[in-house]
Amino acid sequence: MTRIFNDPADFADEALAGFCDAHSDLVRQVDGGAVRRTRPAAPKVAVITGGGSGHYPAFAGIIGPGFADGAVVGNIFTSPSTQQAYSVAKAAHCGAGVVFTYGNYAGDVLNFGMASERLAAEGIAVENVLVTDDVASAPPHEIDKRRGIAGDFVVFKVMGAAAEAGLELSEVVRVGRKANALTRTIGTAFGGCTFPGADKPLFTLSDGQMGLGLGIHGEPGLFDTELPSAVELGTELVRRVLEEAPSGTAGGRIAVILNGLGSTKLEELFVLWRTVAPLLREAGYTLVMPEVGELVTSLDMAGVSLTLTWLDEELEEYWTAPALTPAYRRGSVAGFVIADGGDTAVDHDAVTQAGYEATEASRDYARLAVEALSTAARELQEAEAELGAMDAIAGDGDHGRGMVRGSSAAVAAAVQAFESGAGAGSVLMAAGDAWADKAGGTSGVLWGAGLRSFGERIDDAEFPTSDVLADAVRAFTGRITGLGKAELGDKTMVDSLLPFTSSLTSAIASGVDAPEAWSTAAADAAAAAKATASLRPQKGRARPLAEKSVGTPDPGATSLAMVFAVVGPYLTAEPSKQLATADSADS
Ligand code: ADP
Ligand code: MG
């Protein structure tokens, strides 16, 4: 139970602000998260961790010399947005490239991946290292589908130390991937965790039961068993983790973490350690700087996990290297040069608004784009409850809210860009970024990224012809299918998007006027959305509850058809009269 909060919706932000104040000697709050208070004296690779809130000391608690350079801080158990990851990376980057490292979750992979594309486009070298230590989350032959849990800590630590030692980006990545490949974790839960303001936990276990194979986002254990004694529990954890020993390792030196999930007493962990440590030693291992404590938590969950990393000489050097962070200190840190590089936070408004250059024709279309977005936002407001109810059948019920949040943020950003002189492309790109930043949820990331690609194709130079418009729609579609990897029939928004796109493309290619082609395509999309009712979801949160979803159309396919139906008249409008006359006078 979380008892100290104001508005539950502000919990993560308020916790971050309080943390940054309490540790202002080491960290500094920036848009999207926190970075080291002081910059390294010489350029070094910036190691940036991240994920949702609720896991303290992961991820902001481990910022500092010898460890992370920054942490991207999302809402509770929610992936941070692309904009947040981008913003923290810009603030932490100091000339030698950036590596994002995080647990393997779809939302994080999408958002850190898109932030990486944006950084790369600005010429910043960037890499991603995913952590996949949770042996319970997928079988060994699908090891790269596993989630990241407490093994995060070891992987982040060795990467932080490697970067501090001056290794270049590709080397820090190599060390991180090696550590991940040699790290295994098994967890157990004794009781669920409760969101601030919620009146019941995300899951419960009956008295005397334990869930083996827990997740760190309130995912219950994969199967429940009788609560064993401490000796039996320790024996079981060691057995299960050793069963998964990476091939080619036998005995040798290991890093060990016995991790509490949030409301397990450290004394309980020590009781457990009394069994775990001797068993590992009996199995021929030397335990190198083991950690018994809370390193990756799950709000107030009761539970523990055991992590082993098989060390070679290089990994041991970085595992044992000094670190100085708010939540974790190791070794002598006297050697760290803490030179204050001053306040180097980027001012994003200044970055994104700098110097728009647009032609009159593009400004004309920008006005239409703003109207299209406003109309879509109004339509989505009206449909919010209906879309939410659809998503609640087999998903989590937030689709209406997410679409309203995303589209309203998009309108606000579009208006601001328009008023600062942006052309249509820039207006649409700003709208896409804001949508992805504010919507939350899978659909928000995809809509935001799609809109950005649409804007890139429209650009700030011309009033788009029908061909350019069709091209931009294909760019929107390509981006969404490229990122989400959904195919026709998976029961996602792609099921109304692909029919729309092929209908529009073929009509325009055969010479149909844009307004007519668009309205026919929108009608096709609406029919396709309705037809998703009979499908079983293959992607997204609804997949585990596929049967329940049959008979209800896909919420994302439905909202997409709604939006496409109302934006047509604006996006396919003719250039305004004034402009048309001016153009013909010129020629
Ligand atoms: P979340 O599922 O994260 O709660 P929303 O509720 O906002 O996000 O959106 C759900 C919709 O997202 C689904 O109805 C589906 O149309 C769409 N969706 C989910 N996964 C994918 C995917 N991989 N590709 C395309 N669309 C997807
Ligand atoms: Mg949802």
From CA 53, how far away is CA 5, in angstroms rounded?
14
Every domain of the chain and the residues it spans: 8-332, 360-586
Angstrom distance (rounded) from CA 256 to CA 310: 9
Its pTM surpasses 0.75? yes
pLDDT at 530 over 70: yes
For 18-70, the pLDDT digits (tens) are 999 999 999 999 999 999 998 777 899 999 999 999 999 999 999 999 999 99
More confident residue, 537 or 153: 153
For residues 358-375, give the mean pLDDT.
97
Relative to the CA of 495, which ligand 1 atom is closest? 16
Distance in Å, CA 416 to ligand 1 centroid: 28
Predicted pLDDT of residue 392: 83
Q: What is the pLDDT of residue 545?
A: 65
Across-strand partners of 48? 70, 100
Residues belonging to the active site: 217
What is the average per-residue pLDDT within 248-264? Answer: 93
Pick the CATH number of 360-586 from 3.30.70.100, 1.25.40.340, 3.20.20.80, 3.20.20.70: 1.25.40.340
What's the pLDDT at 544?
62
- Look at 147-161, 248-262, 516-530 and tell me which has the smallest mean pLDDT: 248-262
Is the pLDDT confidence value at 585 over 60? no
- Reported as a pLDDT band with limits 50, 70 and 90, residue 158 is very high
CA–CA distance, 391 with 349 (Å, rounded to integer): 34
Q: Is the pLDDT of residue 250 over 80?
A: no
User: Which among 386, 403, 477, 492 is the best mutation to test ligand 1's pocket, defined by most ligand atoms within 8 Å of the CB?
Assistant: 492
Q: How many angstroms is it from 479 CA to the middle of ligand 1?
A: 14
pLDDT in tens, 369-400: 999 999 999 999 999 999 999 988 877 788 99
- Where does residue 355 rank: exposed (0-12), middle (13-18), buried (19+ CB within 10 A)? exposed
Is residue 581 predicted with pLDDT exceeding 60? Answer: no
Average pLDDT over residues 334-345: 53
Q: How far is CA 422 from CA 62, 106, 362, 428, 574, in A?
A: 40, 33, 9, 9, 19
Say whether pLDDT at 582 is over 80: no
Residue nearest to ligand 1 atom 27, measured at CA: 492
Atom of ligand 1 nearest to the CA of 493: 16
Mention every residue, 6+ apart, whose C-beta is less than 8 A from residue 185.
133, 134, 135, 149, 150, 151, 241, 257, 305, 306, 307, 308
For the chain, give the percent of residues with pLDDT over 70. Answer: 94
Which of 493, 532, 554 best tests ligand 1's pocket when mutated (most atoms within 8 Å of CB)?
493
Q: Which CATH number fits domain 8-332: 3.40.50.10440, 3.40.50.720, 3.90.1150.10, 3.40.1790.10?
A: 3.40.50.10440
* pLDDT(231) > 90: yes
Closest listed residue to residue 216, CA positions, set 293, 140, 304, 290:
304
Q: For the residues 225-245, what does the mean pLDDT come to?
A: 95
Confidence of residue 338 (pLDDT cuts 50, 70, 90): low
**Per-chain mean pLDDT for the chain:** 91
Q: For the segment 265-317, what is each residue's pLDDT rounded down to a tens digit?
A: 999 999 999 999 999 999 999 999 999 999 999 999 999 999 999 999 999 99
Selection from 139, 152, 67 nearest residue 108 by Cα:
152
CA of 217 to the centre of ligand 1 (A): 19
CA distance linking residue 228 with residue 223, whole number of Å: 14
Q: In this predicted structure, what is the pLDDT of residue 335?
A: 67
Q: Whose CA is nearest to atom 11 of ligand 1?
A: 556
Whether residue 345 is predicted with pLDDT greater than 50 in this model: the reply is no
Q: How far apart are CA 265 and CA 269, in angstroms?
A: 7
447 neighbors 476 (Cβ within 8 angstroms): no
3-state DSSP assignment of residue 548: helix
pLDDT at position 126 is 98
Angle at 511 (CA atoms; ends 506, 517), nearest 5 degrees: 60
Is residue 400 within 8 Å of 443, Cβ to Cβ? no
Q: What is the pLDDT of residue 439?
A: 85
415-467 pLDDT tens trace: 999 999 999 999 999 999 999 988 877 899 999 999 999 999 999 999 999 99
pLDDT (mean) for 109-118: 93
Q: Residue 584 pLDDT more than 70? A: no
Instruction: Please give the pLDDT value at position 448.
Output: 96
C-alpha 298 to ligand 2 mean position (Å) = 21
pLDDT band at 587 (very low <50, low <70, confident <90, very high): very low
- 333: pLDDT confidence band, cut at 50, 70 and 90? confident
Q: Give Cα separations from 277 to 96, 246, 280, 289, 523 (angstroms).
A: 40, 19, 5, 12, 66
The per-residue pLDDT for 351 is: 43
pLDDT of residue 344: 43
Average pLDDT score over residue span 534-562? 86
Pairing mode, strands 183-191 and 209-212: antiparallel
